[in-house]
Amino acid sequence: MMQDAALDWIERYAQHLRHERRLSTHTLDNYLRDLRHLCEFCDRQGLDDWNALNAPQIRAYVAWRHRSGIGGSSLQRELSAIRSFFNYLLREGVAGHNPAQDIPAPKNPRKLPQTLDVDQAARLMEIPGDDDAAVRDRAIMELMYSSGLRLAELVGLDCADVDMADATVRVTGKGAKTRILPVGRKALAALQVWLQRRHLLPGAAGSAALFLGQRGKRITARTVQNHLRCRALAQGLAMPVHPHMLRHSFASHMLESSGDLRAVQELLGHANIATTQIYTHLDFQHLAKVYDAAHPRAKKK
């Protein structure tokens, strides 16, 4: 069993993540869950101290987690959490090495993100009704598709972040990085209608949030997910639609029209262009379908 002194370093590390690195609660929970899995492995192996872990044992840990059904991307995240934890232990003089430093995770076949085509996106935005929820949901969907927002970025928006005159929105993304994004004509119109309605809602005066839920509080990510799924079904879309699908659709349609990968990277707020390059595969798929349908030597009889 891991010694109490060794386990105490996990709690100290959690305080470091919370107060020094200022990680979100969600990310912090993920890190700590990953370290609990490592503790379970150490107990199985009879290891009682962090310095007892070496590279072959970390490889054995990866194999153990992989056999239990954990995919490559999740294992990459777990290894990242372990590396970060041992870097902290090195800094504090508790560990003499980082056993996870050069350990790779098994690779998953890369899945292409699901997107809506332009017609499906247009149909989704045409939700009926003039009640508060319908007006708000139209503004949410138009803004997400117009500006390629992450769900967390959307629910974190305040009214002051939208500049209607300049047709821009100020977004705080991953790593607390801020970027200014253009807002399209239809999204501006939907936002204008929502803002006229918003200030009449109970609790609106006491909240800075751009989008409010039923009780006048900032809308939650879960509410946006649920409403989007229901709206998509009501509009007759065959596939389940989630908020990130609007971001994927924005990126795919932008790249398809402009071919400017760097611009799409900036708009999405990706630190690494390799993350954005997955949309080039989507663009090629689209071109391949056009080719198959149009080229006389490719047409199916």
Instruction: Take residue 190 and report the two structure tokens written for it.
Output: 């939907």
In the residue annotation, 247 being an active-site residue is answered as yes
In the residue annotation, 300 being an active-site residue is answered as no
The listed CATH number (1.10.443.10, 3.60.10.10, 1.10.3720.10, 3.30.200.20) that belongs to domain 118-244: 1.10.443.10
Profile the chain (301 residues) by mean pLDDT over runs of 10 residues.
Answer: 83 91 85 92 89 91 89 88 94 91 77 84 92 95 94 95 95 88 94 94 90 90 95 92 92 84 86 78 58 60 52
- Name the catalytic one among 198, 227, 247, 253: 247
- Name the catalytic one among 136, 150, 198, 227: 150
- Name the catalytic one among 174, 177, 185, 222: 174
What does the pLDDT look like over 241-288, one tens digit per residue?
Answer: 999 999 999 988 888 888 788 888 888 888 888 777 777 765 556 555
- Name the catalytic one among 97, 179, 244, 286: 244
In the residue annotation, 174 being an active-site residue is answered as yes
In the residue annotation, 177 being an active-site residue is answered as no
The pLDDT, as a whole number, for residue 115 is 86
Evaluate if pTM is beyond 0.85: no
- Same CATH topology for 4-91 and 118-244: the answer is no
Q: Domain 4-91 is classified in which CATH homologous superfamily? A: Tyrosine recombinase, N-terminal domain (1.10.150.130)
Contacts 24+ apart (CB under 8 A), 148-153: 148/181, 148/247, 148/250, 148/251, 148/254, 148/267, 148/268, 149/181, 149/247, 150/174, 150/243, 150/244, 150/247, 150/269, 151/221, 151/224, 151/225, 151/243, 151/244, 152/221
What are the extents of the domains in the chain? 4-91, 118-244
- Distance separating alpha carbons of residues 42 and 37, to the nearest angstrom: 9
- DSSP 3-state assignment of 202? coil
The pLDDT, as a whole number, for residue 285 is 60
- DSSP 3-state assignment of 155? helix
